[in-house]
A and B are shown apart, each in its own frame.
Chain A
């Protein structure tokens, strides 16, 4: 009895108590609360149980369905070019070159800026008359665009901005991945007379599979949360061509006060994110076993 009491630190409950309260009040209970609210017509003032009506409404909501397509477009459109460009820059930077630290610093710098600052700067770049892009195009005698107000150009324009904004992240993670590839693999390949492209495709790329997977998972999770760029630059327009899942949650929940309905969208986002994370954990485990063998 006495021995047992000595072994346990019951004070620990006091030490973790502030965290437990805050975590319960602001993460755990809200996570359950989102699910609960999604079965109601909650609008801040009143709340009635409506069963699955919010969910059946989602299936008929053209705007929400559009936002799913847009979010997917944004996700793929940002991640694929970022992976390719990030890897290429990292591979070049991983060699001895003058000014290496400076290059790395400037390329990473956009990543530390806020979504508001980045969006405002690019709204200026994209401005049809005063904007830099159109001025440059005009001086070169090329056709100009109404970047953010053309339904077919708006999302690609946001994606281009996002690739610029996040490229440093992909580069830095790939640089960390490149450090883990043992030199002897390249030395052996050199002895066999392997060409540069051959070494890249047979050693570098496969050895970076785990890094690439990590970048895809984090990229997907971040992309599902995209909101600020869209809210600031286009308000989801033109013709709802840039509205995203979180933009719809905000639009329904905090502009229309249909919080029950918005909660159903939030549950969808939650399930999507949890699924991606669980797949990540499962694949990570599988790979861990392979490495051990």
Chain B
């Protein structure tokens, strides 16, 4: 750092441009360190088997083996795992957005006895980590009547365990989503729905035709949070899924590691492909992603 007692215009601008360069170098170093594990994933994924046993560190592969990806995906039915994850993510995101915005609209825009009390009950849920209620959730999913060999009382079979429903339905309603939608709908001028009401519109029509289309920004934020949460979730599939054909990508990847720890290049190839969807979503919708992460706070 340069020191001058009374900086004049010239030395000041020199000082500023030096500070700029220092900042650039510092940030470049930090960014390289942060990117380093990612670069390791990428370059290890295309390294050849002989190169993997060399004890010498080298970031770039000597020989680029793009057939590692197809080799990695020969272990297991990855098409099925990707379909499972995609299906669960799409249904959870679309379903929860509709349900959360519908409830958020009702709590913000409709008047009914018990509104505040019911909303308060939903708020309580924001304090509950799902890891703390996973055992009763497991019991509830196992006891769904007439599902998975269960009788009318939910006994005898496995219910929704080891099905898509077990990974979708518990995440359809959500305190945070309802709260966020309600806050958003409060900010919309009253005149909008009043005019529709004078024309005789019913509440659901007002929600569907007026409020839902207006909610795009908040829905985009929610959609991204929910996508990341569903795609990346590991704990829930680990608990609820038992058969291979129901594996999500995360579960399959973790099982893959258990079997092929020595083949790091193939493991990194599978890992790299598994993170691409989230990286793509992040790059395409960075603004919403960051907004969602910053506001979400209590529950991610």
Interface size on A (CB < 8 Å)? 96
B290 adjacent to A108 (CB under 8 Å): yes
A15 adjacent to B278 (CB under 8 Å): no
- In the complex, whether B94 has a CB less than 8 A from a CB of chain A is no
| Cross-interface CB contact of A124 among B44, B118, B281, cutoff 8 Å | B44
Q: CA separation between A117 and B290, bound complex, in Å?
A: 20
Q: How far is the CB of B282 from chain A (nearest CB, A)?
A: 5
B31 adjacent to A103 (CB under 8 Å): yes
Q: Which residues of chain B from 238 to 265 have any CB-CB distance to chain A below 8 Å in the complex?
A: 238-239, 250, 253-254, 257, 264
Q: CA separation between A111 and B281, bound complex, in Å?
A: 13
| Cross-interface CB contact of A19 among B102, B138, B170, cutoff 8 Å | B102
A139 adjacent to B56 (CB under 8 Å): yes
Q: What residue in chain A is nearest B144 (Cβ atoms)?
A: A25
A109 adjacent to B38 (CB under 8 Å): yes
Q: Which residues of chain A from 197 to 249 have any CB-CB distance to chain B below 8 Å in the complex?
A: 214, 217-218, 221-222, 224-225, 227-228, 231-232, 246, 249
A112 adjacent to B228 (CB under 8 Å): yes
B132 adjacent to A22 (CB under 8 Å): no
| Cross-interface CB contact of A120 among B20, B131, B232, B271, cutoff 8 Å | B271
Q: Which of B60-68, B70-78, B108-116, B214-222 sits within the interface?
A: B108-116
How would you classify the secondary structure of chain A's contact residues: helix, strand, loop or mixed? helix
Q: CA separation between A22 and B250, bound complex, in Å?
A: 25
How would you classify the secondary structure of chain B's contact residues: helix, strand, loop or mixed? helix
Q: What residue in chain A is nearest B228 (Cβ atoms)?
A: A112
| Cross-interface CB contact of A273 among B19, B106, B128, B204, cutoff 8 Å | B128
A172 adjacent to B294 (CB under 8 Å): yes
A273 adjacent to B129 (CB under 8 Å): yes
Interface size on B (CB < 8 Å)? 92
B135 adjacent to A262 (CB under 8 Å): yes
Q: CA separation between A75 and B89, bound complex, in Å?
A: 30
- In the complex, whether A62 has a CB less than 8 A from a CB of chain B is no
Q: Which residues of chain A from 1 to 52 have any CB-CB distance to chain B below 8 Å in the complex?
A: 7-13, 15-16, 18-20, 22-23, 25-31, 33-34, 37
- In the complex, whether A67 has a CB less than 8 A from a CB of chain B is no
- In the complex, whether A148 has a CB less than 8 A from a CB of chain B is no
B118 adjacent to A116 (CB under 8 Å): no
Q: A23-B122, A117-B274 are in contact. Are A92 and B294 (CB under 8 A)?
A: no
Q: CA separation between A73 and B177, bound complex, in Å?
A: 32
Cβ of A186: which chain B residues have Cβ within 8 Å of it?
none
Name A's B-contacting residues (CB within 8 A).
7-13, 15-16, 18-20, 22-23, 25-31, 33-34, 37, 89, 92-93, 95-100, 102-103, 105-117, 120-125, 127, 129-130, 132, 135-136, 138-139, 164, 167-169, 172-173, 176, 214, 217-218, 221-222, 224-225, 227-228, 231-232, 246, 249-250, 253-254, 259, 262-263, 266-267, 269-270, 273-274, 277-278
Give 13 new A-B contacts, CB below 8 A, not counting A28-B125, A120-B271, A250-B239. A15-B110, A15-B207, A22-B99, A23-B175, A98-B20, A110-B38, A112-B228, A114-B234, A136-B57, A168-B34, A227-B131, A270-B132, A273-B132
